[in-house]
């Protein structure tokens, strides 16, 4: 940041003024964390108005109730200079001229008839950005000191408006929301019903009648020789409680070959593989388990359909192993056998004339006691033929596919979200501590720069805000513009320091 206060000066002749002092090139410039005051003093040939006198110029910064005296300039008369030159001689060594011959500590010495360049740098404080500069003058001799009055070299500016945190707080709220945004898994779950958080599965298992035995490594599994009725009922309940949004792929009648372009399989398989890959590549989520339930339509023998259902689940498992890096031991397969549950759902939603009788048979006649035969006999087989053509194809599938994930903590994202929230609340010191662990980027630069700025560390804030602005953060640019508001020079003209008369 640069704040300049300049005095325009006419062309000076090489001949200095006879009396008084003229200042030119006056400037106050902020250089990093310092304020530099510069001017050129054209000293008259009789500026002290007496050979035995010394003229002291004391520049003072003032503004906003603050003051700071800068390094003095001391101008010596001719006799004082002669006394100093002769001070080593015995006949003048004892003269009381030490107060005139020796400049005050830290003062800058100057002589009548010369031009002196003055430059002082002091640690920058906020009030100095609008400070004025006055010159206090004092004339002293061996016996007395005379105050000559003060000259206002440059008036103080009106107080500059302080940078406002309002815009940054609003942006910080946005950054907090973005940093704490939905994880990959949460986003996928909103788009695809077959993606669910693991907590949903755990809750379902803990509260449902299907919980007992499922996902137990010692659970009863029939591997293709007919699913036990109790096991089938348990699987059916599990599917009913979690089937909403489940992904389904289809197979041709009596086949377990998975075909990509059969019915809508391509869309389903692409969505399935893409979701698993996204979860595996995500920094915010990870896939924990994939559950596959294979099933078959009810036509044919139970033994054949039972094996077919299992083989369809295995076919899908093999497909995932070939197309993702998901481990086999994290896939859970169930043999859903004949999908009577699905058939009942389709019949209940239909307008078949024999609908109620079909539902009665499905609900009351066991599969092993001729349920399918009863349906084939009903109304001369007409309802069965209708179901065979219009409903059974939808049941020839891997009926239930769910992908379960859990979110992974991201300390860097959490630090950014927390830091942003603290900035939005004006808790800058806490924000600076938290943001140390945040991921690097324009968001962190804006937040850290803002927190430093509003904590009083403008020098530390500026480079961070510059980086954020360069990356397109508009609030950073606004703050920088406010910080640079004092950069335009002020023209105050030539400053004359008159003589005593």
- pLDDT value at position 91? 42
Of 17-21, 31-35, 36-40, 427-431, least confident by mean pLDDT is 17-21
Q: Identify which has the larger pLDDT, 448 or 165.
A: 448
Residues in the chain: 501
Per-residue burial over 186-201, b = 16 or more CB atoms within 10 Å of its CB, e = otherwise: ebbbeebebbbbbeeb
* Distance, CA of 406 to CA of 189 (rounded, Å): 11
> For the residues 252-260, what does the mean pLDDT come to?
90
Q: What's the pLDDT tens digit per position in 103-154?
A: 566 789 888 888 999 999 999 887 887 889 999 998 887 667 888 889 998 8
Q: What's the pLDDT tens digit per position in 271-321?
A: 999 999 999 998 889 999 998 988 888 888 888 888 998 999 999 999 999
- pLDDT value at position 318? 93
Q: Identify which has the larger pLDDT, 228 or 54.
A: 54
> For the residues 29-47, what does the mean pLDDT come to?
85
Half-sphere exposure (Cβ direction) of 335: Cα atoms closer than 13 Å: 24
Q: What's the pLDDT tens digit per position in 80-92?
A: 655 555 555 444 4
Of 107-121, 335-349, 464-478, least confident by mean pLDDT is 335-349
> By the 8 A CB rule, do 37 and 119 touch?
yes
> For the residues 204-221, what does the mean pLDDT come to?
51
DSSP H or E segment with residue 261: none
- pLDDT value at position 19? 72
What is the SS3 assignment for 241?
Answer: helix
Q: With 90 as the cut, is the pLDDT of residue 398 above it?
A: no
- pLDDT value at position 57? 92
């Amino acid at each position: 940041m640069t704040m300049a206060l300049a005095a325009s000066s006419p062309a000076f002749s090489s001949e200095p003024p006879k009396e008084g002092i003229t200042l030119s090139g006056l400037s106050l410039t902020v250089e990093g964390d310092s304020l530099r005051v510069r001017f050129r003093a054209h000293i008259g040939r009789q500026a002290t108005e007496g050979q035995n006198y010394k003229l002291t110029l004391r520049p003072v910064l003032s503004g906003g109730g603050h003051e700071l005296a800068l390094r003095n300039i001391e101008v010596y008369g001719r006799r004082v200079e002669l006394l100093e030159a002769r001070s080593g001689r015995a006949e003048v060594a004892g003269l009381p001229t030490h107060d005139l011959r020796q400049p005050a500590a830290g003062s800058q010495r100057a002589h009548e008839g010369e031009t002196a360049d003055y430059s002082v740098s002091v640690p920058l404080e906020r009030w100095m950005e609008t400070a004025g500069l006055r010159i206090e003058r004092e004339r002293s001799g061996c016996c007395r000191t005379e105050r000559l009055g003060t000259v206002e070299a440059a008036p103080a500016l009106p107080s500059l408006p302080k940078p406002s945190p309002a815009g940054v707080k609003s942006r910080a709220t946005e950054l907090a929301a973005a940093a704490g945004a939905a994880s990959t898994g949460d986003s996928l779950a909103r788009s695809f019903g077959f993606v669910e958080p693991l907590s949903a599965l755990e809750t379902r298992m803990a509260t449902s009648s299907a919980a007992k035995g499922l996902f137990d490594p010692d659970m009863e599994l029939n591997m293709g020789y007919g699913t036990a009725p109790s096991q089938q009922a348990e699987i059916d309940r599990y599917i009913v409680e979690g089937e909403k949004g489940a992904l389904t792929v289809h197979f041709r009648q009596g086949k377990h070959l998975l075909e990509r372009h059969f019915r809508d399989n391509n869309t389903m398989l692409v969505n399935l593989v893409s979701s698993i890959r996204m979860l595996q590549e995500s920094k915010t989520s990870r896939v924990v388990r994939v559950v596959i339930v294979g099933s078959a339509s009810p036509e044919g023998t139970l033994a054949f359909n039972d094996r077919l259902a299992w083989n369809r689940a295995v076919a899908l498992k093999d497909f995932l192993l070939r197309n993702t890096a998901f481990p086999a031991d994290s896939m859970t397969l169930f043999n859903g056998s004949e999908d009577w549950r699905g058939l009942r759902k389709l019949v209940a939603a239909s307008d078949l004339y024999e609908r109620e009788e079909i539902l009665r048979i499905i609900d009351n006649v066991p599969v092993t006691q001729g349920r399918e035969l009863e349906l084939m006999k009903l109304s001369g087989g007409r309802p069965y033929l209708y179901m065979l053509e219009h409903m059974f194809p939808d049941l020839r599938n891997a009926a239930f596919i769910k992908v379960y994930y859990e979110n992974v903590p991201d300390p860097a994202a959490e630090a950014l979200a927390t830091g942003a929230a603290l900035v939005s609340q004006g808790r800058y010191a806490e924000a600076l501590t938290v943001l140390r662990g945040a991921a690097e980027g324009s968001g962190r630069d804006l937040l850290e720069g803002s927190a430093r700025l509003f904590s009083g560390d403008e020098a530390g804030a500026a480079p961070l805000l510059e980086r954020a602005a360069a990356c397109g953060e508009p609030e950073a640019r606004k703050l920088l513009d406010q910080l640079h508001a004092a950069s335009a020079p002020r023209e105050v003209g030539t400053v004359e320091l008159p003589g005593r008369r």
